[in-house]
Structures are given as C-alpha cells and as structure tokens.
Structure 1
Amino acid sequence: LNADLSALNLLKSDFAMLNRRLAGHYGIPLPPGGDMQRVELPEGSHRGGLLTQGSFLLSNSNGEDSHPVKRAVWVLDRLLDDPPAPPPPDVPDLDPSRPNLARLSLKQQLEVHRKKEACNNCHRKIDPWGVVFENFDAVGRWRTVVTGPRKKKRGRQPVDAAVGLPDGRQVDGVEGIQEYLVEAKSRQFARALVKRLLTYSLGRSLEYSDRRMVDSLTRGFIESDYRLGRLIVAIADSR
C-alpha cells in the first residue's frame, strides 16, 4: 500500500515480507537484521503472494496434514467471491484414516468422495482448487513427498499437484494456480476485493442497491492497474 503496488501482488509476487523466524520456516536466506522486511525471492523459492503464506496454509489445514477442501473453499470465497454451497448435513467429512482410504493417494480419495451423488456437483468444482496446494504441508512447509498421517500405511508418496480446473484449464501446483488467477481471474478478484473493502467501510452487508457502486469502483480499480491506495480513496469519496 505504501509503495502503491498493484493488488495483483496479493496473488503472485516476486518478494515476501519476512523476519528471521519466518524466513527460516520458508527456507529463504534473510539479509542482515531480524526485523520484518521486504525480501526479494530467490528463483525457485515457491513463495510470494497470499497463497504461499504460512498463515493461509496453516489456518486451512487440520493441524496434522493439509486440508485441500478448506484451502479451496477459502480461495473461492475470499479471493473470487464464489463460495460453494454448504455441504449436506447428512454427509460425513472425508476421513483419510479409514482403512479403505488410507492406502489411496489424495486424488484417489477425493475421487471416492465425489462418487457420492450428494457430493459430486460441488466437489467437482472445489477439489482442483485445493489439490494445487499439496506441495505445502499442514504448517506451510514445502514438500515433494507426503509423509503425514494420510500415508501411514503406504509410506512416502510423491506429491501430484497437477489438476484440471472446472473451465478445462490445466495447471500444475501453486505456481500454476497463481498464474491462472492473474491471467484469467484478475477482474473477478478485483470485484471480490472491492466488495470486501466496501462491506468493511460501510459496516454492513452489501445490498442489491449497492451494485452500481460496486460496478463503478471495480472499473476504476481495474483502470488504475489494481492500485489499492486509489481504491481506498475512491471508496472514501463514494456516495
């Protein structure tokens, strides 16, 4: 915000804000000084943007392993304003510790879950958005093999984070989904961000009568090259 950067850096960036502890967690060398600072990311760091931050990855895990459905729902809801419907009340969560599931890969487990008629429609849309984060474990550390509780009975398995999205686009891992969001979903992200900031500013939920204001603010935000500071000023000046 202070540097007047594009808000698309929230989706993908070549830098991260790190202190010594966080840099150590991410495996990134930190320049002298242990305070929070901007760090240019080395090539191949797999970091940059909200979706590689430990805070997002940990808060959307189960504490022992990744949780692809939680991570997917967060992205769809918070970044794209397209939340999936709540699950049916009579359908239990997927339990990967069950003997018939424990030996399966994550993709195979999710496929079994989608075979339930009550789950199929929503999970066809949800699951790919979570699988792309499988290179990150429960606390957001990078991994290339899965060794957590899900694989206790099968040992180490290589991560497979390649998916086909609902619109047919093929992406591989977090870098692939970041590129897709910037290239194909930046306008949808812009509108979602406008709505969240406007909701916060007004102190109430948005109503149908706010639609024209949202449209106008979104157009201006995009035309400003997604400058967050200018959006905040526009919201403050809006009537």
Structure 2
Amino acid sequence: NAVVALDGHEALARFHDDGPFDMIVLDVMMPGIDGLEVCRRLKASPQGVLTPVLLVSARSDTRSRVAGLYGGADDYMTKPIDLREFAARVDACLRVRDRYFALAERLSFFLGESMPDDSLRALARQGKLRESKTLRAEVDRLLDKPEAKRFVKEFLNSWLKLDEINDTDPDRELYPEYAGDWWLVNSMVEESRLYFADLIAGNRSARNVIDADYTFVDERLARHYGVPGVFGPSFRRKSLPENSPYGGILTQAAVLKVTANGTVTSPVLRGVYVMERLLGDPPSPPPPSVPAVEPDIRGAATIRELLKKHRADASCASCHKKIDPPGFALESFDVMGRWRENYRSLAQGSERIEGVGRSGNEFVHFIGKEVDASGVTPRGGHFDDILQFKKLLLQDEEAIARNLTEQLLVYATGAPVGFADRDDVSAILEKSRASAFGVRTIIHEIIQSPLFLRK
C-alpha cells in the first residue's frame, strides 16, 4: 500500500500521523519543503532515522547526488525513471529493514549483555522499534529485568576500572589491618554496583556521581566508613552521617582502591583518573623525558612537597594545574579508601607502631606527616578538604552529566565520542535537563539519539 503526499508539509504530517512506513520515496523538487529538507527532518527523528529513504530527482550531477546522500537518503535515483531499476532500488532499500534487528541486538547487548529476547525480536520483525514510544517502553523493560545487573557490572568495569580492584594488595608493613580482607574488597565493589543501579532505578541526578547523602553498606563496609548501626553481611541503603566524605562515586572505597597501588596514594594517579573518568577533561600525556613522581615511603617528604618541585618544570606546570587539585582533595583517603589524618611511613614519624598483622606477619611502621588535602582548582576555587572540593565541582552539574553521557555512549556504541558528535550530545543533555540530568533519562535519550540508532 502506498500513501501519497502532494508537498513537503503534507509528507511530514503523514509520516508522523500515519506511520510507521516501510520506506519513503521523495522527489527532491517537492513544493513547499523540498525533498532534501524533508529527508533531513525525517532522519533527525528516532522513527525516521531507521526508515529507508529513496530520493528521486532530475538532477544527475555528482554534487546533487552527494548532497542527497549526505542529507540522510539511503539511495538516490535520477529521472527519467526506469520501472525495473526503480523496483530493484525499492527492494534494496527494504533490505535495510535488517537494521531493526541490528538495533534490537545493540539495545540488548547494551542493557543486558545478551542476545535479544523473544519480545525484542518480535518488535524488530514488526518494524516497531523505530517508534519512539515503543523504544522507550523496551528500554524500561530491559532496565527492570534481572539481566540489567550485568549491564551495571560491565559498564562500571569499563568506566571505573572496577575489574582491576584486585590488581594490587595493601602493603603488609604499612597496612597490616587489610591483609587478606576479601570481605572488605568484595563489599567495596558491591557498593558501587548497588549505588549505580539505584541511580538508574530512581532516575537520580548525575550529580550523585560526585556527592550524595546516602550509600549502600554491609557491616564490614560500614565499619570502614565509620557508619554506625549496621550488622551482618546483607547490604542496605543507609543515610550517611552529616559531613561524611563518602557520598558519591568519587569517594567510594572501590574507586579509591583502584587508584592506589597498595603501598602509597598518588595525587597524580588519582587526579588523572578523576579528570578522565568523572569530569571528562583528560590531561595531556606527560613529556617522555619527564620522570614520574614517586611518593617517599620513608616519610622524609610528603607527595605535595615532591610535586611542588616537579611543577617548577614549565612543561609540567600546566597539566599539574588540572591534575593536582582532585588528587590533593583525595589525599585524605588511604590505599583502601579509609579516612586518615596522617600518612604512614617505614622509616620515621611521630609514633612507632608495631605488632602482628591479619596475615600473621610482624610489622613496624610510623605515623608520618599530616595530610594536607587543600588546593586550588584551575578556575581559582580554593578548598580545604574533599567536602569543599565536591561543592566546587557541583557548581557545574552539566559537566558531570556530559561526562556520564559520553561514558555511556562509548560503552553503548563501542565508538569514541568525536567533535562532530557534540550537537547530538548537547541534545541528549537538553532533553535530560528537566529531570535534573536523571541517569535513567540520560540512558533513554542516548538510545533515542542518532548516535545510538545509526551505529
């Protein structure tokens, strides 16, 4: 069956009122709105981006053909029309419907790490996935399925490197209390997974990446965080004490362990991690001739003192102006993410600590110099501790949401977000603004975006 429109305005109206259609044939010289512009508008919508479009025109020059194809057409045919060629091109365009099955697979692998289920395959077969309302309903269904736990796990591994949490062990001289504490390590990871799943389920704002007044803990992690009244291995949502530094992904123990090497913490490593993965502003790589700054475990100098000398090199100063502030703000957390007031050292300090660790080893270490977690952001914002630093970051909530959007896009499509994608990313953010950049809303708008639908 064919539906006929006499001009561009009627074509757009019929598409939105009478669709979906298996394909669309447009004359470039349509009255009202020409066929090229109609094609562009159709392809800008979630429903139209999956609908094959064949442009027909008397213009046979290369420039017109290229303009049509770049405008979103799937094929371009010149007049006079040969009916056999026209039929062949229509058949070729209809084969593009296979993209519905590709979309079903992409959606299922994104949100469930599996092949499409029967419901999703049926919708792809019927061509209904191009309908925005149907696509939104399927996204909600997939996010509410138990398989969504796999999405949360794999996305956090990709984004936050949580799969690297066991790559290092705490030094048994400096941190004997952590030796073999797998309950704590496993609890760290589970906290992050439950927390991100809660951001999705409750459509909570992306600002919760940086700070929140709650988290998920069991008994072991609650003791680690100094949260009272939690007993047993079961996790529960728990309000944090006032002025607790642990709200938000930024200061979750799993993130703080992944960004330490087990012996020392480094503001450089943690700073680069925060800039790349939480703020979306990766620093330039260091010059090959400049050696890395290694913390002094003997306790003779703090990492801040060592970095001050390092920044005297002009080639290092500009990057460290961005890297150091988040790294310094996180210095109040040790290699396992527990709050500390002082460093520990192996050679000197104000107090000698000795005993037998969890693994049965004898240890000796010293209480070292006081931690200084203050700093100045590149914009000139002064902070004395992590709480003040979080407040400075949250002055630009859109930047936090933009980074989360781009991280999800990379994971969903397997492709980096390029300069040419900036308008589509901005459109996702604008459509998410009314929900205060709710994480579930961001996922919906990513899937409705051409960046996802066209991959």
| TM-score of the two chains, using structure 2 as the length reference | 0.49
Q: What is the distance in 2 between the residues matched to 1:31 and 1:97?
A: 37
Query: Aligned match of 1:216 in 427, 439, 444?
Result: 427
Q: 1:52 to 1:208 in 2, by over 3 A?
A: closer
Q: 1:160 to 1:212 in 2, by over 3 A?
A: same
1:65 aligns with 2:264: yes
For CA contacts below 8 A with separation 6 or more, give which structure has more relative contact order: 1
Q: How many residues align?
A: 234
Query: Aligned match of 1:153 in 332, 348, 352?
Result: 348
Q: What is the distance in 1 between the residues matched to 2:372 and 2:231?
A: 36
Q: 1:225 to 1:44 in 2, by over 3 A?
A: closer
1:230 aligns with 2:441: yes
Query: Aligned match of 2:387 in 171, 175, 199?
Result: 175
Q: 1:17 to 1:120 in 2, by over 3 A?
A: same
Unaligned runs of 5+ in 1: none
The 5 Å alignment of 1:107-186 reads 107-149=304-346, 152-155=347-350, 156-183=368-395, 185-186=396-397
CA contact (8 A) 1:135 1:143 kept: yes
The 5 Å alignment of 1:3-82 reads 3-82=202-281
* Secondary structure of 1:112's aligned partner: helix
CA contact (8 A) 1:144 1:158 kept: yes
Identity of aligned residues (%): 35
**CA displacement at 1:59 relative to structure 2:** 0.8
* Secondary structure of 1:45's aligned partner: coil
* Secondary structure of 1:133's aligned partner: helix
- The code of the aligned residue for 1:190 comes to A
1:54-113 deviations in Å (ceiling 9; x for gaps): 1111111121121111111111111221111111112111133398xx522332211011
Q: What is the distance in 1 between the residues matched to 2:295 and 2:419?
A: 42
CA RMSD in angstroms comes to 1.9
Q: What is the distance in 1 between the residues matched to 2:418 and 2:371?
A: 43
1:125-162 deviations in Å (ceiling 9; x for gaps): 2112211111101111111111245xx33442222111
- The code of the aligned residue for 1:104 comes to A
Q: 1:58 to 1:94 in 2, by over 3 A?
A: same
Unaligned runs of 5+ in 2: 1-199, 351-367, 451-455
Q: What is the distance in 2 between the residues matched to 1:148 and 1:50?
A: 28
More displaced, 114-123 or 71-80? 114-123
More displaced, 65-74 or 199-208? 199-208
1:192 aligns with 2:192: no
Runs of 4+ in 1 over 3 A off after TM superposition: 30-33, 96-99, 152-155
- Whose Rg is larger? 2
1:87 aligns with 2:298: no
**CA displacement at 1:32 relative to structure 2:** 4.9
CA contact (8 A) 1:132 1:163 kept: yes
- The code of the aligned residue for 1:214 comes to V
Q: 1:22 to 1:209 in 2, by over 3 A?
A: same
